[in-house]
Amino acid sequence: MHVEAISELMGFVFPNEQHVTWTVMIVLYPYITGLVAGAFIVSSLYHLFGQETLKPVARFALVSSFAFLLFATLPLLLHLGLPMRAFNIMITPSSTSAMAGFGIVYLTYMALVVVEVWFSMREEIVNRALAEKGFLGFIFKALALFDLRVDDRTRALDHRVVKFLAGLGIPIACFLHGYVGFLFGSIKANPWWSTPLMFIIFLLSAIVSGIAVLILLFYVISWLRRVEVDGPCVQTMANYLWGFMIIDVALELMQVLSIAYQQMAEWEALSVLIHDKLFWSHVVLQLLICSLIPFLLLGLNSLVRLGQRTRNVLIFSSSVLLLIQVLAMRWNVVIGGQLMSKSFRGYTSYMPGMWDREGLLVAAIVFTVPFLLLRFFDFLVPLFPSDSAIGKGRL
């Protein structure tokens, strides 16, 4: 149920707005879909655009995307007032609603990712099906759809299919996440959300968070396996991360600057929102700490000749900060937009509970499960090809 937090009011808030309707779960939902879209785009950079240095992480990126995608809707389900009716959104969609297309977009993308993951892993699945005996062998045979042929012809076909799906997946991934931005950007009642920029900001921040989480996982996995991290691979990802974060943060700043400069009627209320209610989470955390520092560190990494150890420190810490930056951005949009009353005369406050259905503990569990799932996928089929620099075998 919706959190009955004790809200601190400032000024005049419409009586029904004292309760924040969209909670931390709705912060988590665009965050997780962002990781999906970002990771997918990294995988496509290799599969489609032939960015060879990304080969060690390409398939892992694709599987990560799949793992996050499986849990992207869970926060929504936890949030719904009547979750048993969740499928109504697919059975009886309303054609005028921006939200109604969600089911179609999500399922299309899910189907595409599942097929692409299968084709990219087919050979490994077949190898395990041939190696394993008994029940496990049967499971792998079923996963291979009982077709155990592997030769140059099948490899070529697998490769072609993966390349085609990687190409098709880019517009769909962009659409999936841009669409989430549109859900907010199209709400004219809320001046903090209502901007056409929201679509593109969500998309770029998704790519930033997706690349950042892959870099982070790549480092952690390399450390767990006690192997040197693949330098050119992380360097390529770090360069992309720097580029995308610059565009992303520039657009985030442009959004605020344009409404500030236009001095529309809502600006008076919005400026209090930014300078008071969201000062720490937006100005300090999102912009000063988590945007400015990674911008400088990644710039240093890209422009200056450095040793690999120094690079590792710069890239790793920037990735952590940018993951926090995107989470803070989601919070500032979703929660921030609801803190300001539509009376434009007052502000409410919100602090998620710890133990309730939409509380912090559940949010932490929802966010952790995809990572555990990745570990399970790695148990099924090794996520890193044996010829990659990250070493042989599984985690």
Partner 1 sequence: MIEDGSDVLDRASLAVGRRQFMKIGLVGAFSLLVPFAVRAAERAPYKREDYTWGFIVDTTKCMGCGSCVRACKAENSVPDGYHRTWVERYTVLANGRVEVDSPRGALDGFPEDPAHPKKDVAKSFFVPKLCNQCATAPCVQVCPVGASYAAPDGVTLVDRKRCIGCGYCVQACPYGVRFIHPQNGYADKCTLCYHRITKGLPTACSQACPVGARSAGNLKDATSRIRALLNSSRYGVLKPALGTNPKCYYIGLDKEVV
Q: Which positions from 21 through 60 interact with partner 1, judged by CB under 8 A? A: 21-22
When asked if residue 96 is in the footprint of partner 1 (CB under 8 A), the reply is yes
For partner 1, the binding residue among 80, 145, 157, 372 (CB under 8 A) is 80
Does position 187 interact with partner 1 (CB under 8 A)? The reply is yes
Is there binding between residue 303 and partner 1 (CB under 8 A)?
Answer: no
DSSP state of 282: I
Q: What is the CA radius of gyration of the chain?
A: 22
Q: Give CA–CA dist 337/266, Å, rounded.
A: 12
| H-state helical runs in the chain | 24-47, 55-71, 74-79, 88-91, 102-131, 134-143, 152-185, 197-224, 231-262, 267-272, 293-303, 308-339, 360-380
What CA–CA distance (Å, rounded) separates 179 from 176? Answer: 5
Query: Of 169, 160, 170, 171, which is closest to residue 120 (Cα–Cα)?
Result: 160
Distance between CA atoms of 217 and 319, rounded to whole angstroms?
10
Taking the least distance from each CB to partner 1, the nearer of 21 and 368 is 21
Nearest 5°: the CA angle 180, 183, 186 is 140
Residue 341 makes contact with partner 1 by CB under 8 A: yes
Binding pattern to partner 1, positions 100-139, x when CB under 8 A?
x-x-------------------------------------
Residue closer to partner 1 by CB (options 38, 352) is 352
* Shortest distance (Å) from residue 368 CB to partner 1: 25
Identified binder of partner 1 from the candidate list 310, 343, 368, 386, rule CB under 8 A:
343
Q: Give the residues across from 340 on adjacent strands.
A: 347
Exactly one of 99, 292, 304, 364 binds partner 1 (CB under 8 A); that residue is 99
Question: Which range in 123-131, 154-162, 172-180, 185-193 contacts partner 1 by CB under 8 A?
Answer: 185-193
Q: How far apart are CA 340 and CA 71, in angstroms?
A: 30
Among 27, 28, 58, 89, binds partner 1 (CB under 8 A): 89
219 lines the binding site for partner 1 (CB under 8 A): no
Q: Does 353 bind partner 1 (CB under 8 A)?
A: no
Is residue 190 a contact residue for partner 1 (CB under 8 A)?
yes
Cα gap 125→141, rounded to integer Å: 8
90 close to 110: Cβ distance less than 8 angstroms? no
91/284 Cα distance (integer angstroms): 44
Stretch of 54-62, 77-85, 322-330, 371-379 lying at the interface with partner 1 (CB under 8 A): 77-85
Instruction: Check residue 73 for interaction with partner 1 (CB under 8 A).
Output: no
Given 8, 49, 52, 85, the residue binding partner 1 (CB under 8 A): 85
Considering only the stretches 29-37, 106-114, 181-189, 355-363, report the one whose residues sit in contact with partner 1 under the rule CB under 8 A.
Answer: 181-189
> Under the phi-then-psi rule, with left for phi > 0, alpha for psi from -120 to 50, and beta for the rest, what region is 267?
alpha
Residue closer to partner 1 (CB basis): 79 or 122: 79
Binding-site ranges for partner 1 (CB under 8 A): 1-2, 4, 12, 14-19, 21-22, 76, 79-83, 85-86, 88-89, 92-94, 96-100, 102, 183, 186-190, 337-338, 341-345
